[in-house]
Amino acid sequence: MAIENIPEIYLSNTKKRPDLFVYDFKMTNDVVKSKVNLGMNMFSFLQVGKKQVHFAGNSIAVNKDQSLLLKKGNWLWTELLETEAIYYCKLLFFSEKVLKEFLEKHTEARSILRDEVPYFVIRNDAYITSYLNSLVTIHEAPAIFMENLLSVKFEELLLYLINKYGDTFKLYLQSLIVKETSAFKKIVESKIHSNLKLEEIAFLCNMSLSTFKRHFIKEYDVSPGKWLQNKRLQKAKEMLEQGDCKPSDIYLDFGYNNLSNFSIAFKNKFGFSPSKISL
């Protein structure tokens, strides 16, 4: 699957990336785990549909009642239609330059955000609805005024969200201009119990699959496929032993396409089939 460079694919002039940019994204087909290189921090105001994003350390799912502020980086996006035959969200991209200018103007010296995460979930309300309508109005303004109007609207949005979420949001904004130093092991081990493929985990580590495999063997002294399989099967065994689920309930969650393959791998590791645990 090709990597989508965003917002470049939405810009008519890719040589000049604006500091603030609004784009109306619409689609009529589900997209599952598309590879996205997000080159700017971005607000995603979901209007219709569902969205899930896999990050290096975790994942988040939202619906039309929520919006996301996403940190730039390599992410896997899943965007799903709901009851209507269209998916629609309004995207607001902003550069580190305008964010730094805002923080210098409206906040004190930077504090430390203890649990740094690449997203912030925003609960949609009457203000958000009104704000999105105002962005539509801005697009109707002459181009000469567009940049200044958008700058004012960006500042208005951040001030509102700081007022709504307080220091939590302020600290998150400050974390966006800090270089992220995610450890390779931290990324890998956060994906042990996901159903992501090796290629997808490598992408989240910002590596090619071959580079990822070499780095993995250097760190763990075993192939990533074997290591992940053992970790996932061990977790599956623990879940089955708790008695709350059956093999047919969980095989997809651990990266197996069908129950038969899961059962064979499970028996090869533990010497008995998973169905015997739930008997």
Give residue 205's pLDDT.
Answer: 85
C-alpha distances out from residue 117 to 12, 31, 38, 166, 276, Å: 31, 24, 15, 17, 40
- Residue holding tokens 């955000």? 113
Instruction: Tell me the one-letter amino acid at 88.
Output: Y
Residues linked to residue 88 through DSSP beta bridges, in sequence order:
26, 48
Q: Does residue 143 sit in the same domain as residue 189?
A: no
Q: What is the CATH number of the domain that holds 212?
A: 1.10.10.60
Q: Does residue 160 sit in the same domain as residue 245?
A: no
Q: Does residue 141 sit in the same domain as residue 210?
A: no
| CA 8, 11, 16, 21 torsion-angle sign | negative
Q: Indicate the residue among 158, 175, 192 that finishes a domain.
A: 175
Q: Indicate the residue among 124, 152, 175 that finishes a domain.
A: 175
Q: What is the pLDDT of residues 117-146, one digit of tens each?
A: 789 999 999 999 999 999 888 777 777 778
- Residue holding tokens 């607000």? 43
Q: 126-138 burial, b for 16+ CB within 10 Å, e for fewer?
A: eebeebbeebeee
Give residue 229's pLDDT.
Answer: 86
Q: What is the CATH number of the domain that holds 35?
A: 2.60.120.810
Q: Does residue 131 sit in the same domain as residue 93?
A: yes
Work out the burial of residue 53: count CB atoms within 10 Å of its CB; fewer than 13 is exposed, 13-18 middle, 19 or more buried: buried
Phi, psi of 75 (to 5 degrees): -130, 160
Q: Does residue 140 sit in the same domain as residue 194?
A: no
- Split into its structural domains, the chain has a count of 2
Q: Does residue 265 sit in the same domain as residue 152?
A: no
Q: Indicate the residue among 175, 199, 214 that finishes a domain.
A: 175
C-alpha distances out from residue 190 to 57, 62, 224, Å: 5, 20, 14
Per-residue confidence in pLDDT tens, the chain, 279 aa:
578 889 988 887 656 778 998 999 888 888 888 888 898 999 999 888 888 888 866 788 888 899 999 998 888 888 888 777 788 889 999 999 999 999 999 887 655 555 567 899 999 999 999 999 998 887 777 777 788 889 999 999 999 999 999 999 999 998 888 554 456 787 888 887 777 888 988 888 888 899 899 888 888 888 998 898 888 888 888 888 888 788 888 888 887 888 999 999 989 988 888 888 755
Structural domain range at position 74: 3-175
Q: Does residue 128 sit in the same domain as residue 22?
A: yes
Q: Is the whole-model pTM more than 0.85?
A: no
Q: Does residue 203 sit in the same domain as residue 158?
A: no
Q: Rounded distance, CA 279 to CA 260, Å?
A: 18
Q: Does residue 15 sit in the same domain as residue 99?
A: yes
Q: Does residue 171 sit in the same domain as residue 188?
A: no
Q: What is the pLDDT of residues 206-251, one digit of tens each?
A: 888 998 998 888 888 889 988 988 888 888 888 888 887 888 888 8
Q: Does residue 38 sit in the same domain as residue 149?
A: yes
Q: Does residue 37 sit in the same domain as residue 66?
A: yes
Q: Rounded distance, CA 160 to CA 150, Å?
A: 15
